[in-house]
Structure 1
Amino acid sequence: MEMAGGGRSTLDNLEEDRHPELVSRSNADEERHPELVSGSNMNGPENGLYVTRDLGDIMDCNHYIITVPTPVDKNNRPDLTPLYKSSESVGKMLKKGDIVIYESTVYPGVTEDECVPVLEKYSGLKFNEDFFVGYSPERINPGDKEHTVEKIKKVTAGSTPEIGKKVDALYASIITAGTHLAPTIKVAEAAKVIENSQRDINIAFVNELAKIFNKMEIDTNDVLEAAGTKWNFLNFRPGLVGGHCIGVDPYYLAQKAQELGYHPEIILAGRRMNDSMGQYVASEVIKLMLKNDLKVKGANILVLGITFKENCPDVRNTKAVDVVKELQQYGAKVTIYDPLANPAEVKHEYNLETTKTIPTQKFDAIVLTVAHKEFLTMDLDVFKKQHSVVYDVKGVLNEWANAKL
């Protein structure tokens, strides 16, 4: 858990249990978070940031920022446990006049209806009389060194108009791109959750187009390039949709809609389409192998990339895993090469072996699932047997690819 106030932050036991190295890793970890400014060692009181897991160290703060994960469970239902635990920790320290700001992506109403009661319970204070809350959804783009946090406009909101202005001023002091003060916290919550839902739906549309055009033997990327010559055509590309945002957040909005008696057809249809793409890619690889008289069972297949997006080490909710496990279901022996992913983390999360070392053996098939820059200039011939095939999920391998999404 990240809580900031007076230039201090803490990581609670929940994150400590999942990633015990976080507190001991005192410097900004550029390998794990390449979107950070190079060499930005901010830790230490002299640089404005103090990292601790001892709540007693931040008792004197008057602003607390909570930005914890908001995952879904195995049934794709919102899991608010991190928010509840964080709110409990902060509630035990709250004093009169304090402001608690949430940044986690949620469905409208979570901050005031779910988190505030926890704060009241553990603080013994009265909401909007003794303490206040704000909301400003995080918009960081993992792995993006161009759109860093200060360059992304911030949506802000407060539990009262006055608190809204204070929260807005706090972020405006560091966000050079500016801020947008929403009229209510629920509006700000809704704005964030539809950002990711909109992107998910648009990608689902082009994924469906890819399936259709593949049957027509038309290159999907060629179609999108031609259509993109019109000024108002939206530039989305087919692919695997994972990560801790786009592949998760639509379920939060859908869950709330269903609680209110409305079945969100488009949102859930988009999720079904995107969640099916790992299985689809694997089946296309198998078809490609069979067309080239390659035996599938026992075949050696190289998968290039296991992270959820290119040039980023994050493996949370990566759909490249779906491709790997589906290929294994066919009896193939899969080797995963990813120069950025942490092998220990992949093993812990998915029970899969990965390597950061370039393989030396030859493979019957090569599947590029993630367009890391290291892969774009790689000589794939070193991995190929005489009749090997290459499947390109991202459409970046050009003449190397025998087929692509």
Structure 2
Amino acid sequence: MTNKLSSILEKRGPIKKIGVLGMGYVGIPAAALFADSEKFDLVLGFQRDSPSSGYKIEMLNKGDSPLKGEEPGLEDLLRKVVDANKFECTPDFSRISEVDAVALAIQTPFLDPASLQPDFSALIEGIRNVGKYLKEGMLVVLESTITPGTTDTLARQILEEESGLKAGEDFALAHAPERVMVGRLLKNIQEHDRIVGGIDDNSTKRAVELYSPVLTKGQIIPMTATAAEVTKTAENTFRDLQIAAINQLALYCEAMGINVYDVRAGIDSLKGEGITRAVLYPGAGVGGHCLTKDTYHLERGVTTSNGDLDYPENTDSLFVLARKVNDFMPDHMYYLTREALKRIGKDVRGSKVAILGWAFINDSDDARNPPSEPYRNLLIENGAEVMVHDPHVLNYPEVEIMKNIDEVIENADVVAVLTGHSDYFKLDPAYLRSLTEKKNTVIVDGRNVLDPDAFIGNGFVYKGIGRGDKNKHPII
């Protein structure tokens, strides 16, 4: 079987034309970098002409990035490859038949984490579109984060059904998960090592050929498709676990009346041979598309593998417990808000709360699964008036995002920082007090961007994640 595919790939020749399905945070920079490589002649970006995202097609074909926030180098690179006629965005999926390789960068959220049910509807639609126009000798790569086992089962089955071809015999199939962070998309793709896992050796080799030209510092790490799937889900699960550890420590420090950042600095100071430690930072919650659901992909992978898992009975996995801790942090922000209001004889009901930051990550417009949302929901459910400011997020379903920060803070009883945008580090307590026109205004810092003493000195009632040393300060 592998000899047949090897012969077909040799006859087809090197990869020259590439298709990328999904013009988002992963697909756009990947397509731009492929197009900028001398190894490739043309990259087609495939985007549905839908009411919600069809606008991207015209923007991209002008060399404009639809991604907002700070994304160094992306728009310049897009203009370069568009001007060179090496990149084109199209809603015509029949043009998949023109390419030698196609990568799918489509979101894979979870419908119900409790029952480990993912929402693969968008991914399945994308795979079906590829299958309809799949030709002999093409390479199909899933970049989406998926449940371990998906490439060699669900994806293979759909592609074979739609095309009438056989994976590993007539076409190559692999998983090469994205490893990018918003705000450094191009840099991450070029410099991070690339995990590449095919369903067989020929598929792996063909995928290595696809990704090698866009790497600068990064190296290719080949493995099986399932191992690649586990690698991606596990690395995000481990990061989520690290965040949960420092979040739980922050809660402990609050209870014991000490500063978690002092403790963190102390832990991080121990260095030497044999000591490996990555101490992250606590905060108001974990958001984004990846960390909020990749744990569940990993959990689902082991439950559907039919393997013999030996683990303590009736016990949450360490990874699921970490998810619960991180999901709890917006609730804790609400608790801090409520307790601070009590200190000045007020209740959540009837109070005006100014939320600063809707994006889940600083200096970005990425507002997927933001911790600000459950915090806002709790406030509204308990009778608060809520206004939201974010300098980067343009809109969000059923939430008005204001651009005038003064208007949001004016007459507020509570100012809550949910995102560490650069602008918020510059907040002046005296000016904020003049806007609120209150003798005492609550300030809740979920990202450690404010100087507690400066705000306390200006009459604010301060609460901060992990700031047990300040959370019960005398009110001035």
Which bin holds the TM-score, normalised by the shorter protein?
over 0.9
CA contact 1:35–1:141 (8 Å) conserved in 2? no
**One-letter code aligned to 1:64:** V
Distance in 2 separating the partners of 1:372 and 1:244? 19
1:233-272 alignment, distance < 5 Å: 233-239=277-283, 240-259=285-304, 260=306, 262=309, 265-272=317-324
Could you tell me which residue of structure 2 aligns to residue 364 of structure 1? 413
- Alpha-carbon displacement from aligned partner over 1:347-386 (angstroms, at most 9, x marks no partner): x2xx222211223323111110100001111224333322
Query: What SS is found at the alignment partner of 2:141?
Result: strand
CA positional deviation for 1:16 = 3.2
Could you tell me which residue of structure 2 aligns to residue 49 of structure 1? 87
CA positional deviation for 1:47 = 4.5
Could you tell me which residue of structure 1 aligns to residue 180 of structure 2? 140
Distance in 2 separating the partners of 1:75 and 1:166? 35
- Alpha-carbon displacement from aligned partner over 1:194-244 (angstroms, at most 9, x marks no partner): 010001111111111111111111111121111110123322111210100
Gaps of 5+ in 2: 1-20, 32-39, 310-314, 457-461, 466-476
Check if 1:355 corresponds to 2:402: yes
CA positional deviation for 1:75 = 4.5
CA contact 1:28–1:36 (8 Å) conserved in 2? no
Larger radius of gyration: 2
1:174-213 alignment, distance < 5 Å: 174-213=214-253
**One-letter code aligned to 1:394:** R
1:253-292 alignment, distance < 5 Å: 253-259=298-304, 260=306, 262=309, 265-292=317-344
CA positional deviation for 1:36 = 4.6
CA contact 1:16–1:22 (8 Å) conserved in 2? no
Check if 1:21 corresponds to 2:70: no
Structure number with greater CO (CA < 8 Å, separation at least 6) is 2
Could you tell me which residue of structure 1 aligns to residue 422 of structure 2? 373
CA contact 1:16–1:23 (8 Å) conserved in 2? no
Check if 1:403 corresponds to 2:473: no
Cα 1:33–1:165, aligned 2, differ >3 Å: closer, same or farther?
farther
Distance in 2 separating the partners of 1:198 and 1:126? 36
Gaps of 5+ in 1: none
- Alpha-carbon displacement from aligned partner over 1:120-150 (angstroms, at most 9, x marks no partner): 0111111111111122111111123784421
CA positional deviation for 1:32 = 2.0
Could you tell me which residue of structure 2 aligns to residue 39 of structure 1? 76
Aligned residues: 399
**One-letter code aligned to 1:70:** T
TM-score scaled by length of structure 1: 0.92
- Alpha-carbon displacement from aligned partner over 1:263-311 (angstroms, at most 9, x marks no partner): 7611111111111111111111110111132343211111110111111
Distance in 2 separating the partners of 1:35 and 1:71? 24
Distance in 1 separating the partners of 2:252 and 2:206? 51
Distance in 2 separating the partners of 1:45 and 1:61? 20
CA contact 1:105–1:249 (8 Å) conserved in 2? yes
Distance in 1 separating the partners of 2:51 and 2:134? 24
CA contact 1:36–1:148 (8 Å) conserved in 2? no
**One-letter code aligned to 2:138:** D
Distance in 2 separating the partners of 1:208 and 1:286? 20
CA contact 2:354–2:388 (8 Å) conserved in 1? yes
CA contact 2:96–2:130 (8 Å) conserved in 1? no
CA positional deviation for 1:31 = 4.9
Could you tell me which residue of structure 2 aligns to residue 73 of structure 1? 111
Distance in 1 separating the partners of 2:215 and 2:316? 35
Distance in 1 separating the partners of 2:54 and 2:186? 29
Greater shift, 143-152 or 269-278, is seen at: 143-152
TM-score scaled by length of structure 2: 0.79
**One-letter code aligned to 1:9:** L
CA positional deviation for 1:330 = 2.1
Could you tell me which residue of structure 2 aligns to residue 332 of structure 1? 384
CA contact 2:341–2:347 (8 Å) conserved in 1? yes
CA positional deviation for 1:316 = 0.7
CA positional deviation for 1:95 = 0.9
Greater shift, 97-106 or 21-30, is seen at: 21-30
Identity of aligned residues (%): 25
Distance in 2 separating the partners of 1:120 and 1:184? 20
